[in-house]
Amino acid sequence: PAAGGNNSTFDLSPKTLAAVGVGLVAVGGASYLLYRHLTRDVMPQKWRRVGTVERIHFFPVKSCAPMDISKPEVEYDCDVLSMSFEGIRDRTLMVVNENNEMITARVYPLMTQIKSKKVSPSKLVFSAQDMPDLELDFEKLDGPGKDVKTSVWGVSIDVMPCGDRINTWFSQAILKKESGLKLVHYPYPKPVRCTNPRLKSMPFIRQEDSGTFNDATSFMLMNLSSVADLNTRLKNPVDALQFRGNFELKMDVDEPYAEDNWQWVRIGEDAVFRTVAPCTRCIFTNINAKTAERSSEGEPLKTLRR
């Protein structure tokens, strides 16, 4: 691929072409933002290769573990709403409490250990420590007429309940109680939420970038060079999964924070992403993705704040 501007390409072959929002890990300066404001709506004709996608993470349930996909060759669809794998979409399931308020692993770290596996075009099987497996069939949810009104970071949305049997399992897995939590489903074919209020100062973000139950945007890319640079400053290095990005980029030549300057990203020949905002960070990053243990030293967030 050829070079041009601040645009970049990666080696992968998703099936769908879509101009969608990507949350990045760092912030651009004022002059950079002004430049991008003048050019960001024009998809480039020339591209510069920067590396390959080393890992893809796909999270059916917000705050839970990425899906276990054992196939050697996998195709993902990417559209304005989210990434999908054989009909199952990223972050279209979310856990809420009895007041229909969103809960996340920020408060309940054990959520990161709830795993899922696709067993048919409409079915997921969930597993958690000391719990029997749970099957969820998207074709047999409670259905319309029983909508749940909830919100994601203050932005309200009506969603579908998944049913009492599902609720009991998630309550037991997370709270170790028979009740208290509910699993809800995002039922819409397109983004319907308003923009996260915390991102309204970002000049390029649009309502259609809001995704499913995502905090900010439909997709997030992590530059492994940036994570490696962070790890040089940490006593205990962290896995990139702690940042919960969809795409983990391995650059051909390591260049930490190069992603700050990319206006567009192309993966393979088909999937084109528009860069809209950096991804701000919170205490979720302090939770070990493999053990669910929270860093007693507040890392890596403490170092990221410096």
Which of 27-36, 103-112, 272-281 has the weakest average pLDDT?
A: 27-36
Whether residue 3 lies inside any domain: the answer is no
Task: Give the pLDDT band (50/70/90) at residue 279.
Answer: confident
Q: Return the ∠ at Cα 172 (arms to 166 and 175), rounded to 5°.
A: 120
DSSP character for 181? E
99 lies in some domain:
yes
Residue 174 lies in a domain: yes
Angle at Cα 275 formed by Cα 272 and Cα 280, nearest 5°? 135
> Which of 79, 76, 53 has the alpha carbon at shortest distance from 212?
79
For the stretch 145-191, pLDDT in tens is 678 999 999 999 999 999 999 999 999 999 999 999 999 999 999 99
Q: Say yes or no to pLDDT of 17 above 80.
A: no
Which domain, by its residues, includes 259?
8-304
Residue that the structure tokens 């900010």 belong to: 216
Band of pLDDT at residue 31, cut at 50, 70 and 90: very low
pLDDT band at 142 (very low <50, low <70, confident <90, very high): low
Q: Is residue 227 part of a domain?
A: yes
Q: Per the domain annotation, does 280 fall within a domain?
A: yes
Reported as a single tens digit per residue, the pLDDT across 108-127 is: 999 999 999 999 889 999 99
Q: Is residue 81 part of a domain?
A: yes
Q: Is 2 domain-assigned?
A: no
For range 290-300, the mean pLDDT = 96
Q: Has residue 26 been placed in a domain?
A: yes
Count of domains observed in the chain: 1
